[in-house]
Structure 1
Amino acid sequence: MTPRPDRLGVGIGWRPELDLTVERLGVDFVEVIAETIRPSALPASLQALRVAGTPVIPHGVTLGVGGAEPPDPERLAHLAACADALEAPLVSEHLAFVRAGDLDAGHLLPVPRTREALSVITRNVRQAQEALLVPLALENVAAVFGWPEDEMTEAEFLGELVERTGAALLVDVANLYTNQVNLCLDARAALDALPLDRLAYVHVAGGYAHDGVWHDTHTTPVPPDVLDLLGELCARARPPGVLLEWDADYPSDAVLADELGRVRKAMSGA
Structure 2
Amino acid sequence: MNPQPQLGAGLGLRGPHVAGVLAAWPSVGWWEVHSENYFGGGEPVAALERVRERYEVSLHGVGMGLGSHSAPDAQHLQRLKSLVARIEPALVSEHLCWNRGAGRFFNDLLPVPRVDGAVPLIAAHIDGVQEALGRRILIENVSAYVAFEGETCSEAEMLAELVVRTGCGVLLDVNNLYVNTLNLKTDPLAEIARLPIGCVGEIHVAGFEWLDDVAIDTHGASVCDEVWTLLDAALARFGPTPVLLERDTHLPSLDALVGEYRQLEARVAGARERAMTQSPTLTQEVR
> How do residues 137-152 of structure 1 correspond to structure 2 at under 5 angstroms?
137-152=138-153
Equivalent position amino acid for 1:2 in 2: N
Q: Are 2:10 and 2:242, in contact at CA under 8 Å, matched by a contact in 1?
A: yes
Tell me the equivalent position of 1:223.
224
Contact persistence 1:170–1:199 (CA under 8 A) = yes
Cα deviation code 1:125-169 (max 9, x no counterpart):
101111111221100000122221210011111000111100011
SS in 2 for 1:25: coil
Q: What does 1:29-40 align with in structure 2 at a 5 Å threshold?
A: 29-38=30-39, 40=41
Are the structure 2 counterparts of residues 250 and 138 from structure 1 closer, same or farther at C-alpha, using a change threshold of 3 Å? same
TM-score (norm 1): 0.93
1:57–1:83 Cα contact (<8 Å) kept: no
1:50 deviates by: 1.4
Counterpart of 2:48 (choices 46, 49, 53) is 46
Task: Show the counterpart of 1:10.
Answer: 9
C-alpha distance 204-125 of structure 1, shift in aligned 2 (>3 A): same
- TM-fit CA distance, 1:11: 1.0
> Which position in structure 1 is the counterpart of 2:174?
173
Separation in 1, partners of 2:187, 2:199 = 21
Aligned equivalents of 1:70, 1:217: Cα separation in 2: 28
Alpha-carbon deviations, 1:107-141, whole Å to 9, x = none?
Answer: 21111212311111111110111111122110000
- What is the percent sequence identity of the aligned residues? 38
Go from structure 1 to structure 2 and tell me whether the alpha carbon gap of 1:236 and 1:22 turns closer, same or farther (over 3 Å shift). farther
Offset of residue 46 of structure 1: 1.6
Q: Is the 8 A contact 2:179 2:216 kept in 1?
A: yes
Matched position secondary structure for 2:117: helix
State whether residues 25 and 253 of structure 1, in contact with CA within 8 Å, keep that contact through their aligned partners in structure 2: no
Counterpart-to-counterpart distance in 2, 1:56 and 1:36: 14
Unpaired segments ≥5 residues, structure 1: none
**How far apart are the structure 2 equivalents of 1:149 and 1:263?**
38
Task: Indicate the residue corresponding to 1:26 in structure 2.
Answer: 27
- Superposed CA offset, 1:43-75 (max 9, x none): 3432222112x1112111111110111111111
The aligned length equals 268
Deviation at 1:39, TM superposition (A): 6.5
> CA separation of 1:21/1:203 partners in 2, compared to 1, >3 Å: closer, same or farther?
farther
Alpha-carbon separation, structure 2, partners of 1:28 and 1:261: 10
Q: 1:99–1:105: 8 Å Cα contact kept in structure 2?
A: yes
**3-state DSSP class of the match of 1:248?**
coil
Letter in 1 for 2:50: A
* Inter-partner Cα distance in structure 2 for 1:187 and 1:124: 27
Equivalent residues of 1:83, 1:90 under 8 A apart? no
With 165-174 and 19-28 compared, the bigger mean Cα shift is at 19-28
Q: How far does the alpha carbon of each residue in 1:220-264 deviate from its partner, in whole angstroms, 9 at most, with x for none?
A: 111111111111111112243111111122112332122112212
The question of whether the paired residues in 2 share the 8 Å contact of 1:33 and 1:58 is answered with yes
- Equivalent residue runs for 1:207-222 within 5 Å: 207-222=208-223
> 1:11 and 1:21 mapped to 2: Cα distance?
16
Deviation string 1:75-122 (CA, Å, 9 cap, x unpaired) is 111111111111113310001011114222332111121231111111
* 1:220–1:246 contact (8 Å) kept in structure 2: yes
Structure 1 range deviating more: 238-247 or 92-101: 238-247
Distance 1:40 1:213, change over 3 A: closer
TM-score (norm 2): 0.88
User: Counterpart of 1:142 in 2: which secondary structure?
Assistant: coil
Shift, 1:211, TM fit: 3.0
Determine if contact 2:208/2:221 at 8 Å carries over to the other structure: yes
Root-mean-square deviation (Å): 1.7
Supply the distance in 1 between the matched residues of 2:151 and 2:121 (Cα, whole angstroms): 15
- Alpha-carbon distance in structure 1 between the residues aligned to 2:109 and 2:179: 14
C-alpha contact 2:138 2:170 (8 A) present in aligned 1: yes
SS of the equivalent of 2:9 reads strand
